[in-house]
Amino acid sequence: MSTIRFSESVSGSIRGGVLVVTIDNAPVNATSAHVRQGLVKALEHATALGTVTGIVITGAGHTFVGGADIKEFGKPPVEPTLPEVMERIENCGKPVVAAVNGAALGGGCEIALACHGRIAGEAASFGMPEVKLGIVPGAGGTQRLPRLVGIVAAIDLIGSGRTVKPAEALKLGLIDGIAADHLSTAIALARGMAADPLRRTGGIQIAGADAAAVEIATKKVLAKARGQAAPAEAVRLVRKASEASLEDALADERATFMRLRDSREAAALRHVFFAERQAGKVGKLDGVAPRKLETIGIVGTGLMGAGIAVAALTAGCRLVGVEQTEDAAAKGRERISETLDKAVQSGRLADATRNECLARLDVTSEISRLATADLVIEAVFDDLAVKTELFQRLDGIVRPDAILATNTSYLNPDEIAAATAHPGRVVGLHFFSPANIMRLVEVVDCKATLPDVLATVLAFARKLGKLPVVCGVTEGFIGNRIFSAYRREAEFMVEDGASPADVDAALEAYGFPMGIFTVYDMAGLEIAWARRKRQAATRDPNARYVEIADKLCEAGRFGRKTGKGWYDYSSGEKAVDPEVAALIAEARTAKGIVPRGFTPEEIVRRLLRAMAEEGKALLDEGIAARSSDIDLVMINGYGFPAHKGGPMFAAEGNA
């Protein structure tokens, strides 16, 4: 079988009269210019050869086509465009079938949709994640997908950007079949189709949709949009598929794609996309092999410990949870099991997987059972004496090559490590609550942490589906240090005249799901109060200090769980509380401050500047390796809107 080369990344070979075209553009077979050019040449070649009766398009490696080449965005366009390639595929006189070997995303999914048939291998997946990049599909996806799956399912898929596996794709009508040998099956389908009139997706009549279901699907997408333009545009375009001609709707789709592609929102989301691929990459770990991890120990099965346990269990680990008493162990097991149940109820976990997780779970009061653990994570009370005493005990129990991780939020892990027999095996793993849901993990590279220990916990975090960001030792690590600076600035503005509700409203309008004072109330005010009291003796007496939060705590207002904090929750709803306003007014008077008004723009500008300045300090101190890591921490741990790119990106005048 001889190989025909159509471009540097597209080649073909003829099998049983069918031209099998392979896209090989590592790492993800994105539709770079040479892929588009190669595809057109391949179609022309097949059309010209009388002996070829059909064409199959497939991808090399583990991806079918990962989408348009995002690195080309912003550069001058190169012919042919992706929509032109789609038109060539759809209007080809010979049957074209996609043999989808792996992920078919964005432009990759659009290629499959433009084909006359689609066969998925077992590792295939389909999705239109464009809205996650601040754009809409730009090569016919908003028009061809609804023709195959209906308007409602297309709104859901394109509006959410979610990916579906072959079974769901088949059920939706997105594909024609699933086959272990997808290539042979696709070739057979192309051969069988030859005599039939070709099913051109663009020519399919859209099934009439239930208006109420369309409205529900639309509302669901818009509710999650948090002020972003792309989801609403995507929904509008999908709905247009049943109202306008294919030609008009495609022109609208293209114009919308081009406009959004050049927007700040899209630039911010592309920054986040590449930042995520960079995160956790540490130059000094090149060539360092991670250790093998099978059994994870967790000391403390409270809310945080149970969350980490669920994340580890669902990633396939064996888990030993340790508590101080049998009674506490039983409660810990119950907590883990309930969290697994909730994941099943919400459809995030299969029933059978939950049962497998429970079979790999052991919660006990016998700390000696940690002798089998490869990694032990402590999630006990955040107190230095408690944690060091625990790690010293663990020294005598765990294997010499086992790794010890502390989940502290504020303590110095170097001090914990120094108190142990093997400081090189100690590392920080700062999970965010609820740990089974939140993606972010700050991985603290301590003074003595060995490179293979760091490499192992990074691999572990990725196995859990988390986004690990490496940071050095500092009080509060990256996130809580920036959060403190941001909170301090918010309190300055409140003392100077803004109300907590003004600050929260400005942040929510910017895209945060919740303003800082609402977050503060949700988390509880007492832990930060205790810390401020501990730090009081060493605080710079000349530095500005706002006492309002202390006064709230002294009045027993610890936030939502006590019914009162920065707001009043006694009616069940968050309400502005005149008592808090009076307390703030008193604090201003005590300092002789004449309150002034703040515009939402000024509030946001000052808060962003406070975050970016603290971020800059973290970079200067070598705590964070790159500013994009800081952006990821704030987006994934603190609600910073991804479509603004993070505080460092925004500070560069980008958002």
Q: How far is the CB of 7 from ligand 3H9 (least distance, A)?
A: 17
| Nearest-approach distance from CB 512 to ligand 3H9, in angstroms | 24
Neighbours of 289 (CB within 10 A): 11
110 or 502: whose CB is closer to ligand 3H9? 110
Which one of 20, 98, 120, 139 is in contact with ligand 3H9 (CB under 6 A)? 139
Q: Which two tokens stand for residue 603?
A: 């509030």
Decide whether 68 or 519 has the Cβ nearer to ligand 3H9: 68
Beta bridge partners of 440: 467
CA–CA gap between residue 290 and residue 360 (Å, rounded):
23
Q: How far apart are the first and last CA of the chain?
A: 53
Residue 300 interacts with ligand 3H9 (CB under 6 A): yes or no: no
Pairing of strands 177-178, 117-120: parallel
Q: Is 9 a catalytic residue?
A: no
Task: Give one word for 99, left, alpha or beta, with left for phi > 0 and alpha for psi -120 to 50.
Answer: beta
3-state secondary structure at position 37: helix
Q: Is 366 helix (H, G, I), strand (E, B) or coil?
A: coil
Which of residues 277, 284, 539, 605 is near ligand 3H9 by CB under 6 A?
A: 277
Please name which of 467, 464, 423 lies closest in space to residue 443, comparing C-alpha atoms: 467
**Quick check: 70 binds ligand 3H9 (CB under 6 A)?**
yes
57 vs 482, beta carbon nearer ligand 3H9:
57
Q: How many CB atoms lie within 10 A of CB 556?
A: 10
- Is residue 489 flagged as an active site residue? no
Beta strand 63-65 with 18-23 is unpaired
The pair of structure tokens assigned to 251 is: 């022109």
Please tell me the distance from the alpha carbon of residue 620 to that of residue 78, in angstroms, as a whole number: 41
Q: Helices (H) and strands (E) in the chain — how many of each?
A: 26, 19
Does residue 133 belong to the site contacting ligand 3H9 (CB under 6 A)?
yes
> DSSP class of residue 437?
T
Q: Please report whether residue 138 would count as binding ligand 3H9 according to CB under 6 A.
A: yes
Q: Which residues of 318-337 are buried (b: 16+ CB within 10 A; e: fewer)?
A: bbbbbbeeeebbebbbebbb
Say whether residue 464 binds ligand 3H9 (CB under 6 A). Answer: no
Q: Is 499 in the site for ligand 3H9 (CB under 6 A)?
A: no
Residue 66 in contact with ligand 3H9, rule: CB under 6 A = yes
Of 50, 6, 48, 44, nearest to 25 by C-alpha is: 6
Among 90, 110, 156, 504, binds ligand 3H9 (CB under 6 A): 110
Min separation Cβ 63 and ligand 3H9, Å = 5
Is residue 130 a contact residue for ligand 3H9 (CB under 6 A)? Answer: yes
With binding defined as CB under 6 A, does residue 250 bind ligand 3H9? Answer: no
- Please tell me the distance from the alpha carbon of residue 570 to that of residue 412, in angstroms, as a whole number: 38
- Per CB under 6 A, 107 contacts ligand 3H9: yes
Interface with ligand 3H9 by CB under 6 A: which range of 45-53, 64-72, 242-250, 323-331? 64-72
Nearest approach in angstroms of CB 467 to ligand 3H9 is 12
Q: Quick check: 121 binds ligand 3H9 (CB under 6 A)?
A: no
Q: Are 202 and 145 in contact (CB under 8 A)?
A: no
Mark 624-643 with x for binding to ligand 3H9 (rule: CB under 6 A) and - for no binding. Answer: --------------------
Catalytic residue among 90, 110, 265, 442: 442
Marked catalytic residue, from 182, 271, 422, 430: 430
Residue 461 is a binding residue for ligand 3H9 (CB under 6 A): no
What is the smallest separation between the CB atom of 71 and ligand 3H9, expressed in angstroms?
Answer: 5
Work out whether 27 is an interface residue with ligand 3H9 (CB under 6 A): yes
Least distance (Å) between residue 567 CB and ligand 3H9: 39
Structure tokens at 230: 């792309």
Q: How far is CA 285 from the centre of its chain?
A: 24
Minimum distance of ligand 3H9 from residue 117's CB (angstroms):
21
In the complex, the smallest distance separating the C-beta of residue 369 from ligand 3H9, rounded to whole angstroms, is 35
Identify which of residues 30 and 43 has a Cβ nearer to ligand 3H9 in the complex.
Answer: 30
Q: Which stretch binds ligand 3H9 (CB under 6 A): 126-134, 220-228, 322-330, 519-527?
A: 126-134
Is the CB of 74 or the CB of 556 nearer to ligand 3H9?
A: 74
Stretch that binds ligand 3H9, among 102-110, 240-248, 380-388, 478-486 (CB under 6 A): 102-110
Distance CA 622, CA 612 (A): 15
Q: Which is nearer to ligand 3H9, 31 or 407 (CB)?
A: 31
The minimum distance between CB 529 and ligand 3H9, in angstroms, equals 42
Number of residues that bind ligand 3H9 (CB under 6 A): 25
Tokens 């196995």, located at residue: 463
**Measured between alpha carbons, how far is 416 from 514 in angstroms, rounded to an integer?**
34
Q: Dihedral of the CA atoms 640, 643, 646, 652 (nearest 10)?
A: -140
Cα–Cα distance measured from residue 345 to residue 313, given in angstroms and rounded to the nearest whole number: 17
Contacts of 595-599 with CB under 8 Å at 24 or more apart are 595/496, 595/497, 596/496, 596/497, 597/497, 597/498, 598/493, 598/496, 598/497, 598/498, 598/502, 598/506
Q: Is 355 a catalytic residue?
A: no
User: Residue 141, interface with ligand 3H9 (CB under 6 A)?
Assistant: yes
- Taking CB under 6 A as the rule, does residue 647 contact ligand 3H9? no
- Check binding of 63 to ligand 3H9 (CB under 6 A): yes
Q: Mark the segment that binds ligand 3H9 (CB under 6 A) among 63-71, 328-336, 556-564, 579-587.
A: 63-71
**Smallest separation (angstroms) from ligand 3H9 to the CB of 278:** 7
* 82 binding ligand 3H9? (CB under 6 A): yes
DSSP character string of 214-247: HHHHHHHHHHT-TT-SHHHHHHHHHHHTTTS-HH
Calpha distance 21→13 (Å, rounded) = 7
What's 573's DSSP letter?
Answer: S
Is 71 a binder of ligand 3H9 (CB under 6 A)? Answer: yes
- Whether 636 is catalytic is no
Nearest partner of 88 among 116, 65, 128, 123, judged by Cα: 116
Contacts of 591 (CB under 8 A, 6+ apart): 495
Catalytic residues: 409, 430, 442, 480
Q: Which residues bind ligand 3H9 (CB under 6 A)?
A: 27-28, 30, 63, 66-71, 82, 103, 105-107, 110, 129-130, 133, 137-139, 141, 274, 277
